Amino acid sequence: MIKEIIPNLYSIPVPLPNNPLKELNAYLVKGPDRSLLIDTGFNLPPCWEALEAGLNETGVDRSRLDVLVTHIHTDHTGLSARVVSPEGKIYIGELDHPFTAQTFEDWFWEEMDRRFLKEGFPAEEVEVVSRTNPARHLGPQLDISAYTPVKEGEVFQIGDYRLEVLSVPGHAPGQLCLWMEEQGILFTGDHVLFDITPNIAVWANMDNMLGRYLENLKRIRAYPVKLALPAHRHSGDLVERIDQLLVHHRNRVAETLSIVEKYPGMTAYDITGRMTWDIRAKSWEDFPLNQKWFAVGEALAHLELLIQEGTVKPITREDGMVGYTP
Ligand SMILES: [Zn+2]
């Protein structure tokens, strides 16, 4: 069901089938001239049906609709090409913009597969993930020229509303928040979620994602936010949630370090299997493969932070894999 949060600002729930995130909150800012849709859902029929029905209910003029995707992930970008008006623009953070190029995408996934193999991910599992990971298949299939990059400090003026772009790398290199200062409303994208811990992974072209993420959590914490509008599920108290996330990652970093100390030389894949996870599976072996991929990515982000701090070092093991030692 759509909801009018304040006049001309709507939330539109879009279901995400077979995905632990369950649903995406798309937001529409309706203007007298152009309107802006923030995030879209996967490029899948049930997402499209919900998004289209929701938009129709708001009475927005679909022929004057622009789209802003808060980051590159396909649950946000998937329907952007289909929903945008013919002359409309699709805005994306400038640091995510390169990922929209097909050549870059191919290079990126090859690089990631190679990296995960070296980190101990079994070859047959990498093969399955590369065929089934929604990140690789449910995007909008657009050329890079279809997107307009936006950067920190840019402003969208829509009717009486002023939305300022904040660039907060961490969950994705080009993750954006949008800040409506007068109303005290912050669109958090996936930077802060209230029911889920945003996944922080490694990226082939940006280092220390977790370190950047933590800095940008602290940055956002200083804004006088009255209402946080996350891209998934419920809202809540932003400062309280940020403090929880900071503690969560501090504990995670400590847990990762203690595993490395206990089992020096272990691969990231095996370290991940010894960490505690909030996933319903009997054992590490029973993890759904795509969840395994995200988990290893997250463990690597924590290892990367420990390497930056100088408490852990990577080594090349006899079997050619990367191992980690104190
Ligand atoms: Zn998302």
Residue 320 DSSP one-character state: S
Out of 91-95, 146-150, 157-161, 285-289, least confident range: 285-289
Report the SS3 class of residue 68. strand
Whole-number Å distance, alpha carbon 319 to ligand 1 midpoint, is: 36
Whole-number Å distance, alpha carbon 138 to ligand 1 midpoint, is: 13
Whole-number Å distance, alpha carbon 70 to ligand 1 midpoint, is: 9
Report pLDDT digits (tens) over 143-172. Answer: 778 899 999 999 999 999 999 999 999 999
The arithmetic mean of pLDDT across residues 223-234, rounded, is 97
Whole-number Å distance, alpha carbon 64 to ligand 1 midpoint, is: 25
Whole-number Å distance, alpha carbon 75 to ligand 1 midpoint, is: 5
CB 41 within 8 A of CB 26: yes
Provide the Cα torsion 43, 45, 51, 57; round to 10°. 160
Domains of the chain: 3-247 (3.60.15.10)
Whole-number Å distance, alpha carbon 326 to ligand 1 midpoint, is: 34
DSSP 138-189: SS----GGGEEEE-TT-EEEETTEEEEEEE--SSSTT-EEEEETTTTEEEEE
Question: Taking the complete model, does pTM exceed 0.75, yes or no?
Answer: yes
Whole-number Å distance, alpha carbon 41 to ligand 1 midpoint, is: 9
Whole-number Å distance, alpha carbon 205 to ligand 1 midpoint, is: 20
Whole-number Å distance, alpha carbon 142 to ligand 1 midpoint, is: 19
Whole-number Å distance, alpha carbon 320 to ligand 1 midpoint, is: 35
The residues near 39 (Cβ < 8 Å, ≥ 6 apart) are 24, 25, 26, 27, 68, 69, 70, 75, 76, 189, 231
User: Quick check: 180 pLDDT over 70?
Assistant: yes
Out of 43-52, 264-273, 279-288, least confident range: 279-288
The arithmetic mean of pLDDT across residues 25-44, rounded, is 97
Whole-number Å distance, alpha carbon 98 to ligand 1 midpoint, is: 19
pLDDT for position 139: 67
Whole-number Å distance, alpha carbon 24 to ligand 1 midpoint, is: 7
Whole-number Å distance, alpha carbon 39 to ligand 1 midpoint, is: 9
- Using a pLDDT cut of 70, give the percent of the chain over it: 98
Whole-number Å distance, alpha carbon 25 to ligand 1 midpoint, is: 9
| pLDDT tier, 282 (very low <50, low <70, confident <90, very high otherwise) | confident
Q: Which residues lie at CB < 5 A from ion ligand 1?
A: 75, 190
